Amino acid sequence: EAGVVQSPRYKIIEKKQPVAFWCNPISGHNTLYWYRQNLGQGPELLIRYENEEAVDDSQLPKDRFSAERLKGVDSTLKIQPAELGDSAVYLCASSLAGYEQYFGPGTRLTVT
């Protein structure tokens, strides 16, 4: 069974540029999560989807971050414009009905 797939694995951009991350969850998993992990810290939830609906986006900085999950499968997370403080690892996870969460390899973003 394929795991959670994320791309790209690494991204380097200049500040004020836009960037997008893509996630494909485990087949059949209806719940999808985006986390951000700063260096030396544990991951923090940005947004959670149940099927197509964003049910918890309270930690998403909505002035510059947006996310979508079309057709309840793949998801994209976008930052526009990026700031230096956005440098982090962005992790996608999925679960079946909110049970055990499975994580992808993450996208390491560096903003210069």
Partner 1 sequence: KQEVTQIPAALSVPEGENLVLNCSFTDSAIYNLQWFRQDPGKGLTSLLLIQSSQREQTSGRLNASLDKSSGRSTLYIAASQPGDSATYLCAVRSGGSEKLVFGKGTKLTVNP
Collect contacts of 45-52 with beta carbons under 8 A, ≥24 apart.
46/77, 47/77, 49/75
Span near partner 1 by CB under 8 A; candidates 18-26, 64-72, 75-83, 104-112: 104-112
Q: Residue 69: which of 107, 105, 43, 33 has the closest Cα? A: 33
Q: Which of residues 7-36 bind partner 1 (CB under 8 A)?
A: 31
Using CB under 8 A, pick the residue from 41, 51, 110, 112 that binds partner 1: 41
Tell me the longest C-alpha to C-alpha distance in the chain. 39
Which residues of the chain form contacts with partner 1 (CB under 8 A)?
4, 6, 31, 40-45, 48, 56, 91, 93, 95, 98, 100-106, 108
